[in-house]
Amino acid sequence: MATATTTYREALREALREALSADDRVFLMGEDVGKYGGSFGVSLGLVEEFGPERVRDTPLSESAFVGTGIGAAIAGMRPVVEVMTVNFSLLALDQILNNAATLRHMSGGQLSVPVVIRMTTGAGRQLAAQHSHSLEGWYAHIPGIRVLAPATLEDARGMLAPALADPDPVVIFEHGSLYNVSGELAPVEGPLDVASAAVRRSGDDVTLLTYGGSLPKVLSAADLLAGEGISAEVVDLRSLRPLDDATIMASVARTHRAVVVDEGWRTGSLAAEVSARITEQAFYELDAPVGRVCSAEVPIPYARHLEEAALPQAEGVAAAAREAVGHRG
């Protein structure tokens, strides 16, 4: 079948439309998801199609509406809760951690919480320090939830259905810089595997591990490196919890060098977890210390040049890869 040109935003919307059509138990709720069309335009047009019962505007009360989504999921519904940004999700962190992630265990296995929580993450749009952070690593710390980071059109289109089919809570992070990315998207064929990391580019000399909004930068870095004769393999983690150790270790076993690229802050980051696992599981494959390229440890600043300096960029990734491979200069 023919591919069609689409955007990351449209791919997400198409996935929502499909889910709402396929299952009466599915509904979307969040701040301005209705008439407004979602703060990033993802749900534009859906309220007209499915009505205000199933595309529900909520008051600005993250804890209440995320908790309501969790309660509805317990009762057998399949809510998709949109939280405007990961920074705002902190207002609902009590519900996500103390309820969604723990109810199954605390009830001795009696409860399932099949809720999907979508939120925007990441910087790059000069939105300053309360709309730009990458806290995926915090969520990936929590047992009891699955954390997904779609970085491609295919994943934007395909991750929602398996997330809704999951009997446990799933948090999906949409990177704000990706919404306008456009490209060709083949029609969906069968359910998408969301448990595995994906090798987005094959290479022999160094493995660049990343996820979400950093993927395009890392692929650019790989282009830069190729021009210098360094063949970089790019692994898109996709699932941040659980991590697909097998794919990570298989790649490191081929290249013997790894650089983890993570828009979160370095200290206590997801990159730290990936690096620790490589050291635990592939120590005898390592031919260089595991490198990390993370955001500078500063609240993300507003000014464009400062923001750019604070974030991982292709050139920095390439430099870390050169260091790992052992090319100086």
Which two structure tokens, joined as six digits, stand for 222?
A: 């790989």
Residues 269-308 that bind another protein (CB under 8 A): 283-288
Is 131 an annotated catalytic residue? yes
Q: What is the DSSP string of 149-207?
A: ---SHHHHHHSHHHHHH-SS-EEEEEEGGGTT-EEEEPPP-SPPP-SS-EEEE--SSEE
φ, ψ of residue 181 to 5 degrees: the values are: -60, 130
Binding mask 188-227 for another protein (x = CB under 8 A): -------x--------------------------------
Is 62 an annotated catalytic residue? yes
Return d(Cα 303, Cα 127) in angstroms, integer.
9
Nearest to 213 by CA among 8, 17, 74: 8
Task: Tell me how far, at minimum, the Cβ of 1 lies from another protein, in Å.
Answer: 31
Which of the ranges 121-129, 161-169, 230-238, 300-308 carries the binding residues for another protein, by CB under 8 A?
A: 161-169
Q: Is there a contact between 70 and 113 (Cβ–Cβ < 8 Å)?
A: yes
Does the protein bind another protein through residue 103 (CB under 8 A)? Answer: yes
- Active-site annotation holder among 82, 131, 133, 307: 131
Q: Is there a contact between 311 and 124 (Cβ–Cβ < 8 Å)?
A: yes
Which two structure tokens, joined as six digits, stand for 137?
A: 């690593």
Query: Which residue lies nearer to another protein by CB, 102 or 126?
Result: 102
Does the protein bind another protein through residue 146 (CB under 8 A)? Answer: yes
Interface with another protein (CB under 8 A), residue from 50, 65, 173, 179: 65
Which of the ranges 148-156, 163-171, 206-214, 297-305 carries the binding residues for another protein, by CB under 8 A?
A: 163-171
Give the binding site for another protein (CB under 8 A): 27, 53, 56, 58-59, 61, 63-77, 79, 94-95, 98-99, 103-112, 143-146, 166-168, 195, 241-243, 245, 253, 256, 283-288, 326
